[in-house]
Amino acid sequence: MNSDTQAAQAGGSGSAHLFLQAMAEVAAATSPEEIISALQKHILSDADHIGLIQVGFGAIGEPVFRSAASRDRDGLAGEDIPPEAVRQALGSSPLFIADVGELDEAEAPLRAYIEDTLRAASLALIPLTGRARIAGYLVVASRQPRRYSEEEQQALTALAQQAAVILENTLLLDTLSRQTERLSLINELAQAIKGAFDVAALGRQVVQTLSQIIPLSHLSIALLEPDGQEAQMHTFHGSPLPSPAPVTDSCLGAALREGRSLQIESVRDCGSYGEHWAAAGAPTLLIVPLTARKRHVGTLNIGLP
């Protein structure tokens, strides 16, 4: 065996060892920052910029992109979220650009992202595919041309998929925490409403409190008539609703019958009154039953854009 062969095998063995170390540390990571630390320490020590983009959910389930963590050697890069044109062209496949100078005119959005945003000459952009969707992106940029070997591409892609699991779990925990906070606050407000006589003052207080954590488009309180067939609508945020509103065959009645908070994904499913919810700016609705002395007195209605 000659010296060149021995050197190649030693180099390959060393690369495999670094990859396994990186994989173990990424798997044990509890935050995006720890993922970047593992990648930078073992695999990407020569990279000028490493970023993790997380894809979360907005108020009505729309994708929301944010930079979960990033490190830039020179502090030159701007916000490293890939623009929509780049994401659409990328799809779910990894992209490796060795030299931005090799891009043609048709790839202008990608060139602008590399040169103007990342201030770089090369890019590795890898979708982080989670359980059933793209959970984020791994962004690796260098300020000099950098060509990744096939083995390096495979290693980065494998590490990215491991990072996807961590990011998705982090997102689920964050989402659960926010939902718990919201439901806890809504429950406190519902308890406060019990026995309240000044509905107008109460409505204003609810709007002020909820608007701090929920992007409200509508808020109203429905108070049941004595016969329970209709409810008087008191609107405190958004366009006013016509009053009285039907209860029996409506979303209000469904929430009251079930005795629990009810989320309506589309108010078009709320019978004839659904068009009024939509016109009031509440395409998605959360209805919280209100009780006093062990009986239902109405509902708190929260509209989301």
- The CATH code of the domain that includes 245 is 3.30.450.40
Q: Which residue in this structure is represented by tokens 């491991």? A: 162
The verdict on 221 and 149 lying in the same domain is no
In a domain, 120, yes or no: yes
The verdict on 207 and 164 lying in the same domain is no
How many Cβ atoms are within 10 Å of 51's Cβ, its own excluded? 25
The verdict on 159 and 217 lying in the same domain is no
In whole angstroms, give the CA distance from residue 298 to residue 223: 4
Stated length of the chain? 305
How many Cβ atoms are within 10 Å of 304's Cβ, its own excluded? 19
**Beta strands 134-142; 218-224: pairing state:** unpaired
In whole angstroms, give the CA distance from residue 41 to residue 29: 13
How many independent structural domains does the chain possess?
2
The verdict on 112 and 59 lying in the same domain is yes
Q: Domain boundary residue among 176, 204, 233?
A: 176
pTM for the full predicted model: 0.57
Contact 94, 128 (CB under 8 A): no
Phi, psi values for residue 148, rounded to 5°: -90, 130
In a domain, 186, yes or no: no
The verdict on 203 and 75 lying in the same domain is no
The verdict on 253 and 290 lying in the same domain is yes
Sequential pLDDT tens for the chain (305 residues): 443 333 333 344 567 788 889 888 888 888 889 999 999 999 899 999 999 999 887 655 668 898 989 999 999 999 999 999 999 989 989 999 999 999 998 899 999 999 999 999 999 999 998 767 888 999 999 999 999 999 999 999 999 988 888 887 776 666 655 555 555 655 665 565 555 556 676 677 677 767 666 677 888 888 888 888 888 888 888 888 888 888 887 888 888 888 877 777 777 777 778 888 888 878 778 888 887 667 778 888 888 76
Domain enclosing residue 70, as ranges: 3-176
The verdict on 245 and 126 lying in the same domain is no
The verdict on 23 and 150 lying in the same domain is yes
